[in-house]
Structure 1
């Protein structure tokens, strides 16, 4: 069956790395169809909103989405069309899981010298983020000047869903270790509900060892000894912070892949932002979004194409001549992409 993907280039370096990613996907998977639609500032200028309803409909109809980074902090207010496309898609497509692997490469230096190979499984639809935990209106408000309040939503249903995703991933990886991150000693109701729910799910995976860690202790252990971690399950904000830390420990956000998925939809998305200061210079690292696209193809039942991409990306990182400047190399975006494409063609049967 031919896969139909939707590419949304976004802002800043988004169009450059999305173009590179689409070229790599086409090379790895014969016959794939990739439609392109505009979001971000381009859509705001053309349609008055950063993510038009017709784009959301296209995303819902596609087999998967390749989402470029967006400059949502620079958008106008929501009332003026400045929606965060990433947050909108997560809610509209019910993408409850954000899967963020961090794997170091022998040729890319790491800050601590430790090898890293872990996956942060982050709950994606609730928590403290004000744009995704209320049916109507934001979860932050200011009742009187000088006083700001923020509400956090944790539900048993979403906690169970992310726990199931994490333990199932650990089983597929052949892992025997899951770390559950919480602060239930202080946030007794909300983190307590999350932790109790994860414990209940863990009973169905007796072969997997579960380590329960406070968020502050986990952050320290990430730096001290990241090799002790394999699959990490966390609520939204904790997972967001820890996954960025893990990616930096593995060599940088430029290689930090990410997949958002729910029961029916999946979106590949780089962990990093739109880097507007690099836009148009041709030096942006496309590795994060390319790796994310490989995760998307694997999720959609195309493991051979996913492996082609992952292996080609790994091979391209071996030499400074085919690594972008953020990875200590001298390659342009196009040169790194061409190297990946060459490795794919050489590896094809």
Structure 2
């Protein structure tokens, strides 16, 4: 791939706090793009969620999926699918629908505590690499339907599927990431009970690990891993696991680092990437301008870094790093939302980050 003059990025605001935190991320991305000399981002707004049900008759309209097929990257706000009217509530949720449609097999979820901000486990700095297409999330495991069914009114069954092909892909992503970090990968499984399924996951990850002799490799059962994270999260670097375990561990880790509101993620295939905060739609605080936008802002930065690597465009990589640093500097400077012990609003925090980016762009080490 080559660098481009203008990048087109999709915007799906979603439900709840989505229409507040997604614009906050856009504001920061636009500021970083200016700082590194990129042409303005071409934002492509697409319908999704409860509003799309009202206007298009579906939470993820066909026109949205068709538009995503023509994009390399997009930002997805949180959705509140549990509040959708039937039959939409019972269908695969918007996030799962898009991940499945685009084949976004890797969900990369960094967790890092902020200096100067409350944290249950200070010094946490790890990444959870979550397989995104199968495992024990039944809604990812079938071509049609959700992977759950009831043969009788009193019996419910869910498919849990692990394949060598999917595990090899996510394991390679984990070890490649570890090579860029502290060269330590931890496999999380439950092979003492789910010996065939998660046993296969563990064994295939070990096989891939043998190709990376520089990387330290260990493994833990999922239940033990929750205890290890609470006791000594800073000891871990890259954690690779299946879908449901990864979701649970990332929520736990985010809270240990300070708040789920600071937990970003990117979902990717080899050709497309979706920025998505690890948290939900928080309908109880929607519309109040108090949600923490950090997770969405940092997810957008991860997306820019992915695009920069794909297009060999150092400007995008620099923009991502500028956003990361600006968020850190803003929090360390005492500006934070309520979940981190501060008083800033969603929009106020975003404005502070954007201002920090604009100031940093004038410094010698970031000047173009």
Alignment correspondent of 1:85:
94
Gaps of 5+ in 1: none
Alignment correspondent of 1:308:
322
Kept in 2: contact 1:268–1:295 (CA 8 A): yes
Alignment correspondent of 1:28:
32
CA shift, 1:82, in A, is 5.4
Worse-matched range after superposition: 127-136 or 179-188: 127-136
Whole-angstrom distance in 2 between the partners of 1:300 and 1:96: 17
Is the partner of 1:267 in helix, strand or coil? strand
Kept in 2: contact 1:104–1:117 (CA 8 A): yes
CA shift, 1:144, in A, is 2.1
Alignment correspondent of 1:231:
238
Whole-angstrom distance in 2 between the partners of 1:208 and 1:40: 42
TM superposition score normalised by structure 2:
0.91
Kept in 2: contact 1:8–1:67 (CA 8 A): yes
Whole-angstrom distance in 2 between the partners of 1:48 and 1:164: 39
1:160 aligns with 2:168: yes
Whole-angstrom distance in 2 between the partners of 1:43 and 1:82: 15
TM superposition score normalised by structure 1:
0.96
Alignment correspondent of 2:159:
151
Is the partner of 1:88 in helix, strand or coil? helix
CA shift, 1:223, in A, is 0.5
Q: 1:7 aligns with which of 11, 32, 41?
A: 11
Alignment correspondent of 1:169:
177
Instruction: Give the count of matched residue pairs.
Output: 346
Whole-angstrom distance in 1 between the partners of 2:100 and 2:92: 12
Matches of residues 287-298 of structure 1 in structure 2 within 5 Å?
A: 287-298=294-305
Whole-angstrom distance in 1 between the partners of 2:200 and 2:86: 34
Is the partner of 1:241 in helix, strand or coil? helix
CA shift, 1:145, in A, is 2.9
Is the partner of 2:271 in helix, strand or coil? coil
Whole-angstrom distance in 2 between the partners of 1:84 and 1:146: 24
Question: CA 1:161 to 1:278, structure 2 compared with 1: closer, same or farther past 3 Å?
Answer: same
Kept in 1: contact 2:92–2:139 (CA 8 A): no
Whole-angstrom distance in 1 between the partners of 2:283 and 2:24: 17
1:285 aligns with 2:292: yes
Alignment correspondent of 2:311:
none
Whole-angstrom distance in 2 between the partners of 1:63 and 1:128: 28
Question: CA 1:157 to 1:203, structure 2 compared with 1: closer, same or farther past 3 Å?
Answer: same
Gaps of 5+ in 2: 309-315, 362-366
Kept in 2: contact 1:49–1:82 (CA 8 A): no
Alignment correspondent of 2:199:
192
Q: Deviations over 1:208-267 (max 9, x none)?
A: 010011111111100011111000000001111011111111111111010000111100
CA shift, 1:76, in A, is 2.8
Is the partner of 2:200 in helix, strand or coil? helix
Whole-angstrom distance in 2 between the partners of 1:103 and 1:84: 28
Matches of residues 1-349 of structure 1 in structure 2 within 5 Å?
A: 1=4, 2-29=6-33, 30-31=38-39, 32-78=41-87, 83-112=92-121, 114-173=122-181, 175-301=182-308, 302-320=316-334, 322-348=335-361, 349=367
Whole-angstrom distance in 2 between the partners of 1:181 and 1:309: 31
Question: CA 1:170 to 1:160, structure 2 compared with 1: closer, same or farther past 3 Å?
Answer: same
CA shift, 1:130, in A, is 2.3
Question: CA 1:83 to 1:39, structure 2 compared with 1: closer, same or farther past 3 Å?
Answer: farther
Q: CA RMSD in A?
A: 1.3
Whole-angstrom distance in 2 between the partners of 1:77 and 1:232: 37
Kept in 1: contact 2:129–2:174 (CA 8 A): yes
